A and B are shown apart, each in its own frame.
Chain A
Amino acid sequence: MIGDLLAAIDWNVVFIILLAFIKAFVIVNVLLVIFAYMTVTERKVMGRMQARYGPNRVGPFGLLQPIADGIKLALKEDITPSQANVWVHTLAPILSLVPALIIFAVIPIGPSIPLGEPGSGSEWTWYIANINVGYLYAAAIASLGVYGIVLAGWASNNKYSLLGGLRASAQMISYELPQGLAALTVVIIAGTLNLYEIVEQQNRAGLPFGLLPIFGWIAFAIYIVSGIAETNRTPFDLPEAEGELGAGFHTEYSGFKWSMFFMAEYVNMVNVSALAIILFLGGWWPAVTGIAALDGVLGPIFFTLKLAFFMFCFIWLRTTFPRLRYDRLMGLGWKFLFPLALLNLTATAVWVALWPRGWWPFI
């Protein structure tokens, strides 16, 4: 009986599932470590930009600061307002963090390395799942993150939180459009939604889409601006405008539930940056030597370097720019970025229709 069952098991499938679990575990932990060290990096870089030091007391150069912060947050009392909807109040931070974490499943950070004899099909991959609708999946899951914020604002039973949640939903829905249209420009050029294939096309041509004459630049710029708005970072951090709303949707959150919103924000920054790198900056380019093993090792390193640059830019922008007024924020999204993205997309579509062969005519 048991012998039959064991014989019926396809051990390859078991192995693949097990590997996916291990990878998921590693990715979640790496993302949370990135989050922890982004907080201290942000405070230090921001401090230096404002002619001060930032945290430097806990451990050497303040490097143990995130651990101290983590202990503090975990030990803090978790307060739920007496008039709040307890279930939704608890669910909201989870709804915010989980989508942020699972987007990374489809993000390839390096080229696959073939293993075994050629043609055997077995390979080491730097992603969990390589699905045909990779970008669609990422965009869909990213928009789920809005629910966490809206429900947090609603469940808190606090007018400031509710206003923050409403602002967040309006802002994120508004900026998803130009972001999606900018990404669609790349999808039209590449002819696929598969993130791995999009990177491969850029590397085959030796030119990232972000460097494509005019269409690529515009799409890249729109994507970045919308991406910052999507992650609710300064200068687009209207939902949590502390001056007006008293921290907005997370006013009534404390302790670990509050830190989950915090994690979601930083992991979303990583996601937006990673997608921008894949769509516009050639992913693991310039690790395209043709030697599979070398590329496979160098690829993730280059990807990480680009990611670090993007994260630095997030901090840089936060230090430099003040928050936008709410109507200006909506105006920028709907009256400027959206028409521009639409125009850019149409122009790209016409161009690709005129020269259907070869993914980019003048290379």
Chain B
Amino acid sequence: MAYVELKSPPPPKGLMGEIAADLEALTKGLAVTLRHLGQKPVTLQYPEERPELPPRHRGRHELERHENGLEKCVGCELCALACPAKAIFVEGAENPPEAPVSIGERYAKTYVVNMIRCIFCGFCVEACPTEALQLKRVFELADYTRESMIYTKEMLLAPAYKKEPEDSWLPG
């Protein structure tokens, strides 16, 4: 077994050597705190300053649309199946041919995400075969009642087609 032998400084000699070593250690510590006094704090002044989140941050869910305005979601319920927290409920229905909602044969009649249960793991996004479901960089989800934490399809659906390559989790 190979192991790294830690090299410690040689033990100080005599009482005066010990005192000198102690004083050196104390001075080093004081220098660190004094150096920080002149530096800018790392604190983010949150309500005024906003954090710069990474492009693939997993925040609020969103259901995407196609360029022609139709929903990408085909009501396959794979997201609900993949969800380890059982936070998603999907009820699929036949897509009416005269007034199509999605491009597939079926569409999501109800799509509900319980934000209290959601653990933001992103498995639903990975499971989605049509890239309909995305997790966005919206993180201010706090609210006062349990009822308001149930996000319905109307809340989750993107208003229009969006081309946001920086948000896409798929390569290319």
Give residues in A with beta carbon < 8 Å to B: 45, 47-53, 316-317, 319-321
Distance between Cα atoms of A316 and B39 in the complex (Å) = 15
The interface of chain B, by Cβ under 8 A from chain A, is: 26, 29-30, 32-34, 36-37, 39, 41-43, 45
- The listed residue (B36, B42, B43, B45) touching A49 by CB distance below 8 A is B36
Docked Cα-Cα span, A319 to B45, in Å, equals: 22
B147 CB to nearest A CB, Å: 32
Closest-by-CB residue of A relative to B28 is A320
Summarize B's interface: helix, strand, loop or mixed.
helix
Query: CB distance B42 to A51 under 8 Å?
Result: yes
Closest to B45 in A: A53
User: How far is B36's CA from A21's CA once the two chains are assembled, in angstroms?
Assistant: 44
Query: Are B30 and A52 in contact, with the CB atoms below 8 A?
Result: no
| CB contact between B39 and one of A45, A51, A53, A319 (< 8 Å): that residue | A51
Q: How far is the CA of A51 from the CA of B29 in the complex (A)?
A: 15
Task: Check A316 against B41 for contact (C-beta < 8 Å).
Answer: no
Interchain CB contact (< 8 A) of B33 among A52, A53, A319: A319
Minimum CB–CB distance from B110 to chain A (whole Å) comes to 44
Which chain A positions have C-beta within 8 A of B45? 53
Q: Which among B26, B29, B37, B43 is the interface contact of A45 at CB below 8 angstroms?
A: B37
Q: Is the CB of B29 within 8 A of A52?
A: no
- Cβ-defined contact, A51 with B34, below 8 A: no
Contact between A52 and B34 (Cβ–Cβ < 8 Å)?
no
The residue that B26 contacts in the complex, of A48, A50, A321, with Cβ under 8 A, is A321
Q: A51-B42, A316-B30 are in contact. List 12 more A-B contacts (CB 8 A).
A: A45-B37, A48-B41, A49-B36, A49-B37, A51-B39, A51-B41, A51-B43, A52-B43, A53-B41, A316-B33, A316-B34, A319-B33
- 9 A–B contacts, CB within 8 A, in A order: A45-B37, A47-B41, A49-B33, A52-B41, A53-B41, A316-B33, A317-B30, A319-B33, A321-B26
CA distance in complex: A312, B30 (Å): 12
Q: Which residue of B lies closest to A336 (CB)?
A: B19
**Nearest B residue to A235 by beta-carbon distance?**
B26
B42 touches A52 (CB 8 A): yes
Most buried by A among B26, B30, B41, B45: B41
Given A48-B36, A50-B36, A51-B36, A320:B41 Cβ within 8 A? no
Assess the A48–B37 pair: CB atoms within 8 A.
Answer: yes
Q: Are A320 and B29 in contact (CB under 8 A)?
A: yes
When distances are taken between beta carbons in the complex, the residues of chain B under 8 Å from A317 are 30
> Considering the complex of A and B, which 4 residue pairs feature the smallest CB-CB distances, nearest first?
A49-B33, A320-B33, A52-B43, A320-B29
Bound CA span A52–B32, Å: 15
**A51 contact set on B, CB distance < 8 A:** 36, 39, 41-43
Complex Cα distance, B45 from A47, in Å, reads 14
Q: How far is the CA of A338 from the CA of B32 in the complex (A)?
A: 30
Of chain A, the residue at the smallest CB distance from B42 is A51
Q: B39: which A residues are within 8 A, CB to CB?
A: 51
Cβ of A129 to closest chain B Cβ, rounded Å:
37
Among B29, B36, B37, B42, point to the contact of A321 (Cβ < 8 A).
Answer: B29
Which chain A residues border B29 with CB–CB below 8 Å?
320-321
* Nearest opposing residue in chain B for A321, CB measure: B29
Asked if B32 contacts A53 (CB within 8 A), the reply is no
Give bound CA distance, A49 to B30, whole Å. 10
Residues in A whose Cβ lies below 8 Å from that of B26: 321
